Amino acid sequence: MSEAKFPTVAVLGAGTMGAGIAQVCAQAGSSVVLQDVTDEFVQRGLARIRDFLQKGVDKGKTTVEQRDAVLSRITTTTDRAGAARGAQLVIEAVPEQLALKNGIFRELAAVVAPDCVLASNTSSLSLAKVFAGVAGPARCIGMHFFNPVPLMALLELVRTDATSAPVIDAVTAYGRQLGKEPILVKDSPGFASSRLGVCLGLEAIRMLESGVASAEDIDKAMVLGYGHPMGPLKLTDLVGLDVRLAIADYLAQELDHPGFRAPELMRRMVAEGKLGKKSGQGFYRW
Ligand code: CAA
């Protein structure tokens, strides 16, 4: 294995995305510090990584040695500043709240080395706002991963007006070491992936709401008719209805386009705790 472009990486947030990101960074040879606010969250993230690697062993895709080597490169903590201090790259994957993300980067900019790259996994928020007031805006970039992170080939890199070319080059090279194909997108609402993907998902929910077809048949239309690996309703279940609702509300506000208005059915399901796969019930029972 060639040396990882970023030998030490801090991943902030040990949820679905953070755990997946920590895993692929460790697979690429980086030492990874996975941080979350409680030990319970961190342990849950680590268990997710362990499960994925074990399934890989069971499928014959991963050797026991590879599993153990990846796990040995991941340490965990609840100390955010401590996690970031020795890293050359910090990847933030905390909930999609602008003030939370911005506060974290402002705090960490003072703690990390001046050339430490600061990256956010936000799936739609303005990177200019996420990094507003952060010292060293040239080192700030969006690194948008896709769920399930270890299996999805895309890495969407989002540059602000301030992101430097060397930072884009370094993160692009690292993305390839992670086994991803990077694309480069300008900081704009929903970037390339969420703007298209969320629009399709919301329209599918509107169609279900107005009785056009069943969830299964709407999904089949896209899977069998358009070659999508998964239909838009099942995918919304996988991502989480709450996550997609937050993105939809944000995009409806930023882009003057009725396609981003969240359907009532979606709001009702989120209010009832039907969040998709993670809650056991969404458009499907999991
Ligand atoms: N370890 C190693 N390999 C594994 C593995 C594991 N634990 N689990 C699965 N794999 C491998 C399989 O062996 C298989 O490999 P081959 O292709 O070589 O046979 C491959 O990964 C696919 O796995 P499966 O056959 O089990 O599953 P699948 O074919 O049904 O694919 C999927 C699963 C990749 C999730 C596919 O359904 C898919 O691409 N779905 C769409 C997902 C998507 O769109 N995600 C984006 C969501 S949006 C987002 O994330 C952005 C956001 O901001 C919220």
Domain shared by 179 and 44, yes or no? yes
Instruction: Give the other-Cβ count within 10 Å of 160's Cβ.
Output: 18
Single out the residue in 149, 167, 186 at which a domain terminates: 186
248 lies in which domain range?
Answer: 194-277
Instruction: Looking at the structure, tell me whether residues 107 and 202 fall in a common domain.
Output: no
Question: Are residues 126 and 53 part of one domain?
Answer: yes
User: Could you give the number of structural domains in the chain?
Assistant: 2
pLDDT at 1: 67
> For residue range 118-171, what is the model confidence (pLDDT) as tens digits?
999 999 899 999 999 999 999 999 999 999 999 999 999 999 999 999 999 999
CATH number at residue 211: 1.10.1040.10
Domain boundary pick from 159, 186, 213: 186
Distance from the alpha carbon of residue 230 to the mean position of ligand 1, in angstroms: 10
From the alpha carbon of 152, which atom of ligand 1 is closest? Answer: 34
Q: Which atom of ligand 1 is the closest one to the Cα of 52? A: 7
Indicate if 13 and 155 belong to the same structural domain: yes
**Ligand 1 contact via 60 beta carbon (within 6 Å):** no
If you measure from the C-alpha of residue 77 to the centroid of ligand 1, how many angstroms do you get, rounded to a whole number? 28
One-character DSSP codes across 99-121: HHHHHHHHHHHTTS-TT-EEEE-
Is the CB of residue 56 below 6 angstroms from any atom belonging to ligand 1?
Answer: yes
Residue with CA at minimum distance from ligand 1 atom 11: 151
Looking at the fold, whether 17 and 128 belong to one and the same domain comes out as: yes
Residue 3 DSSP label? P
Give the residue carrying structure tokens 């506000």: 253
Cα gap 276→230, rounded to integer Å: 14
Same domain, 83 and 218: no
What CATH code is carried by the domain that includes residue 135? 3.40.50.720
- For ligand 1, atom 39, which residue shows the shortest CA distance? 229
Q: Which of 148, 170, 186 corresponds to the end of one domain?
A: 186
The rounded percent of the chain whose pLDDT value lies above 90 is 96
> In the chain, what is the greatest distance between 2 CA atoms, to the nearest angstrom?
55
Q: What is the pLDDT of residue 157?
A: 98
